[in-house]
Chain A
């Protein structure tokens, strides 16, 4: 199975450990993994601000370099949603449609495509708060959002439950948005900051020190707010825990 591995811009720059863990984790399975070095960005910052038309160049670039793989895996829910559902300026040729259909966030890829049933190398004997980023939760449908009256399921929790000693926990408002919201945290700092503070305070009230998510963007925001306001939490990208390289 030929798998392309795309590292989103913010992960490359600010969270290489998330990308390294994902890359190592993928290579533990019998896969032919290729880093897609040439692609730059999924186009989300432009689409997010309404510059859909100007995202055209970035999107064309993306499908060019995403071609030729059985699957493309991205260690970021928010960017995966962008690729799968918001590449609106690119013509949907059969080749492009293949890319959209076979691009997965790492959680979906492990759970749905590889159908991973054990992670013998992973051990993390702690109570860990699982934060489902909104895009992973409500657009990639990785778990049941609390608003929907459908049977309960959670792909990230199912994977985390394979890790020895780990207990999956949640904040009281388990899937309320933490306020990152793409460019939202830049343009509406007051609200994003308050949302973030409410979220990390919720962990603290529940005695949860370790936080994980399939969206590093949420974690970057939550960790930044926590450090600013002196709340003691430690954040891990989900692949770090699944790969067994997270250190408490």
Chain B
């Protein structure tokens, strides 16, 4: 697959002022709400540390907890499947659906299913999948990836949605009132909910001790997918486990506060066993996770997919999740995606200013800033670095070799600033000049000042 150029895709979004400003404001508002609700909890920082420790403990005892989880699921009358990769996951889903003659499905939000490309897989096999999360459904209708893991259509304006709904659902293109647009979608989706053959969901937390899967939503869409149809499938990544029921409240307290700045999601649904007459399946998925477990960057597996890192990221807010062209975007995306496909995502780790804010908002303390350095080094080691970077590096290595070289390089630079014509200094040959006035060349460097002073 071709390499993702986040810088180029991001520049397109930046140039679109209306979308960029709205996107930046919405997400910054979420970050501000997060600061406010977190500040109201005296033990907030302790909660982050504890959540991180529970995740580290679970990840380092994952074999035991996975077996416990499987045993409990079976005791509860749930069918359990193990999938090593995306292909196997999708095949299992399709086999279950084939056996039940399933033609239509509603699906709650699931990053894992997105990661596996499941919807495309099923649609290619004649199964209609209806996304039950509003934002995700908007993106599905627009044939575009989600741009944010908890707010999939946040890069769109109301007008975009009105236009899309008019085209796909026959509504009035001139009415962009959210209540109207909601009612249009509700009417359309309710018809689907009643007639679907099966429901699917992702999982926020899987409790090993009880075999319970827990899903947090704000629209109640998970409950419709789980409770209306006669067949229900949930897919869970192996990193979603937590040991005990009593560990859950901590994560629930952190999740929505970090994600949107609200105390809790509207719905926190616990599914332990099938309803009367329902058949329930849980697919436990690896898809590269056990490989990551043994790697230097294994703490990415602590991530609870809240999106707080995206909301705070100055690059993400200005370029939108669309520019990362990947299932996971923003800070967590740039340290996660290269582990799926280093070539395709080799440029993502450079879409970062090292501001470090993502590491501070992360409710489970994934050391994202550290991992950005890790991946940049890995990109170089695997020879995936860009030619321009290599050239700059060679130039710098020469200039910075010792103080004599540096002093010559500085003199050359200052000579250029003082003597080259303005049109040349402002030309595209100087990338700095696109958004900066060039600095004024000082009369002398510190080095020169110091020798003039007679060395103090």
Q: Which residues of A contact B (CB under 8 A)?
A: 7, 9, 11-17, 19-20, 23, 27, 33, 35, 37-41, 43, 45-54, 57-58, 61, 86, 134-135, 137-139, 145-150, 173, 175-177, 179-198, 220-221, 223-225, 227-228
Contacts and interface: CB of A to CB of B under 8 A. Distances in A.
A150 B403 CA distance: 42
B314 A179 contact: yes
A36 to B, nearest CB: 9
Contacts of A54: 393, 397
Contact of B442 (A15, A27, A186, A192): A15
B442 A189 contact: no
Given A147-B35, A196-B435, A9 B400 contact: yes
A191 B435 CA distance: 10
B45 A150 contact: yes
A185 B350 CA distance: 11
A177 B446 contact: no
B435 A9 contact: no
Contacts of A181: 352-355
Residues of B contacting A: mostly:
helix
Given A16-B446, A146-B35, A150-B45, A194 B14 contact: yes
Given A41-B400, A184-B352, A16 B437 contact: no
A239 B450 CA distance: 17
Residues of A contacting B: mostly:
helix
A192 B353 contact: yes
B445 A149 contact: no
Nearest to A177: B355
B144 interface: no
B405 A191 contact: no
Interface stretch (B69-77, B167-175, B324-332, B373-381): B373-381
Contact of B355 (A14, A49, A138): A138
A14 B439 contact: yes
B432 A182 contact: no
Nearest to A61: B402
B22 interface: no
Nearest to B35: A146
B14 A190 contact: yes
B353 A177 contact: yes
Contacts of A189: 431-432, 434-435
Contacts of A57: 397, 401
A13 B410 contact: yes
Interface string B378-408: 1111000100110011001100111101100
Given A9-B410, A181-B354, A35 B377 contact: no
B44 interface: yes
Contact of A149 (B39, B402, B438): B39
Contacts of B396: 45-46
B14 A224 contact: no
Nearest to A183: B392
Contacts of A191: 7, 10-11, 14, 315, 318-319, 351
B267 interface: no
B38 interface: yes
B319 A40 contact: no
23 contacts: A14-B439, A23-B450, A40-B405, A49-B376, A49-B389, A52-B373, A58-B397, A134-B353, A135-B354, A137-B356, A147-B35, A149-B39, A176-B357, A177-B353, A180-B353, A181-B353, A181-B355, A185-B432, A191-B10, A191-B315, A194-B435, A196-B436, A228-B437
